[in-house]
Amino acid sequence: MNESILTRSPGTLSIPGSANARGELQLGETSACFVNRKGEELVAFSYHDIVRLKNVRNGGVSSTITVTLNDDSTFDMHLKSGLACHSFIDKHWPNKPRQVKSRADELRRMAELRGERIQTPLSMSAKKHRNERIAALVIALLLIFFDSGVVQKLFHFELSTGFMVLINLAVIAVILILLGSSFKRRRPNRSIGGDMGIYFLLIVMACLMAFPLVFAIGMSLKPLDELFRFPPTVFPRHATFKNFSDLIVVMGESWVPFSRYLFNTVFITFVGTAGHLLLASMAAFVLAKYDFPGGRTFFGVVTTALMFSGYVTGIPNYVIMSKLGMIDTYWALLLPAFAAPIGLFLMKQFMEGLPTALIEAAHIDGAGEFRIFWSIVMPNVKPAWLTVMIFSVQSLWNTSASTVIYSEAKKTLVYALQQIQAGGIARTGTAAAVTVVVMIVPIILFIINQSRILETMASSGIKD
């Protein structure tokens, strides 16, 4: 090659009908050549002669570049820095065919520049895989229902233990087949054994994490005699809703109405979550997109505050609320909720990944700071504030507030339910029902927004 070398990459040259040769691809401004380890030129071509250029990524920055010239000769180059070489050749390729873009492609490109999340419709294959997973879940639930003994009691028949084991094994095999066919291989260089190992590990971890929830629900459906049976069983043999009906009766006998406890909890949860979300978002926007003296120090204090749990800050919070005269008021719970550091940390980290060009463009168009925050920033960080909302709801819904709220009419639902749990052996079934009632609201919120939470956790460290 009679010109200076601008880019080079080691790799392997593959020509149909010839043996592979290891060497180096050398790229100039108008031409390129592949030389072996002895420096001998094996292939040389000009960018004007390229008819087709294809790039297949192998992992990392390495890729396989396939070049087709105008004399119909084709060769493959497996390069260590293939992505950079392909980008260089593509940039200096003068006869590159023009790609015709549709209006949908242009709208997608503009949406990506604005930082919007692209929603792609499910293909027929994706819908098929989704339906197979739903079918596997339904079959698993039916198996659990069948093993609980409800079907045998309803139709008055019994099956031997061996036959039940055979039925369970057959149903589990069907579930595994459905799940195995529904998962698409995303990494072609991973073996089937690796996929099976990963799926098996995920299934085991999912069972371990779901067991406490399933066990709590099963305990709430057991009659009193099964609650004290040893060894304990996961599923009730004689399922009943008597524990929940007893809970309603006990709550109805309280001299403070049940609706008052519920109102206190809902009011504290709603106002505390809304205030925490608004203050954390506004502070995170300033810390993420503006430089001012003391900004990093302030965020360092917030990060340090994450190390202290509520048990550590309980006494300082009580002293401060007492000095402010807010003991036995809703503010004793709301103000600490507003100042929780977790929301500010998550929102700030997520907003740092928001393109600064969006904010600068809004400034050029004449938008004010609050308009930019409310109309541009908040819609683009929806996964983050949904995650903050879930964490705040979980914290406020489960608080008993017994240390700062003394009036019975201002106490929360969790406090009243805890008093029922302390009723002794006779209320063991009611206490099991209380556990399910307390945990059901945070679980439902998490199930609805779980994809948003995972997106927030995956993106909280990415910066623009």
Domains 7-97 and 251-459 fall in the same CATH topology? no
Closest listed residue to residue 88, CA positions, set 99, 77, 104, 75? 77
Q: d(Cα 180, Cα 163) in Å, to the nearest integer?
A: 26
Q: Are 77 and 31 in contact (CB under 8 A)?
A: no
Q: What span, in angstroms and rounded, lies between the C-alpha atoms of 167 and 175?
A: 12
Of 298, 266, 280, 272, the C-alpha closest to 384 is 280
Q: Is 98 exposed, middle or buried (0-12, 13-18, 19+ CB in 10 A)?
A: exposed
Q: Look up residue 237 and give its DSSP letter.
A: S
Distance CA 378, CA 16 (A): 55
- What architecture is the 251-459 domain classified under in CATH? Orthogonal Bundle (1.10)
Identify the pLDDT of residue 29: 85
- Asked whether 264 and 411 are in contact (CB, 8 A), the reply is yes
Output the six-digit token pair for 291: 């430089």
Three-state secondary-structure class, residue 217:
helix
Tell me if 446 sits within 8 A of 370, measured CB to CB.
no
> pLDDT by residue for the chain (464 residues), tens digit each?
677 888 888 888 888 878 888 899 888 888 888 888 888 888 888 888 888 888 877 766 788 888 888 888 888 888 888 888 888 888 888 877 776 666 666 667 666 655 555 555 544 555 555 666 666 666 666 666 566 565 555 555 555 554 565 566 566 666 665 555 555 444 444 566 667 778 788 888 888 888 888 888 888 888 878 888 877 788 888 888 888 888 888 777 777 787 888 888 889 999 999 999 999 999 999 998 888 888 889 889 988 988 888 788 888 888 999 999 889 899 999 999 998 898 899 888 888 888 888 888 888 888 888 888 888 888 888 888 888 888 888 888 888 887 888 888 888 888 877 777 776 676 788 888 888 888 888 788 777 776 666 555 544 444 44
**Torsion angle of the four alpha carbons 72, 76, 81, 84, in this order, in degrees rounded to the nearest 10:** 20
Residue 166 CB partners (closer than 8 Å, separation 6+):
none
CA proximity to 328, closest of 395, 212, 409: 409
CA dihedral 334, 327, 420, 314 (to 10 degrees): 70
Under 8 Å between Cβ of 268 and 396: yes
Euclidean distance between CA atoms 139 and 144, whole angstroms: 9
Say which amino acid occupies 21. Answer: A
Pick the CATH number of 7-97 from 2.30.29.30, 2.120.10.30, 3.40.630.10, 3.40.640.10: 2.30.29.30
Tokens of 309: 């749990």
Query: Alpha carbon 132 to chain centroid distance?
Result: 22
Taking Cα atoms as reference points, which of 415, 436, 438 lies closest to residue 241? 436
pLDDT at 460: 47
Contacts for 32 with CB less than 8 Å, ≥ 6 apart: 1, 25, 26, 44, 45, 47, 89
Alpha-carbon distance of 429 to 251, in angstroms, equals 14
pLDDT score for 187: 46
Q: Where are the domains of the chain?
A: 7-97, 124-218, 251-459
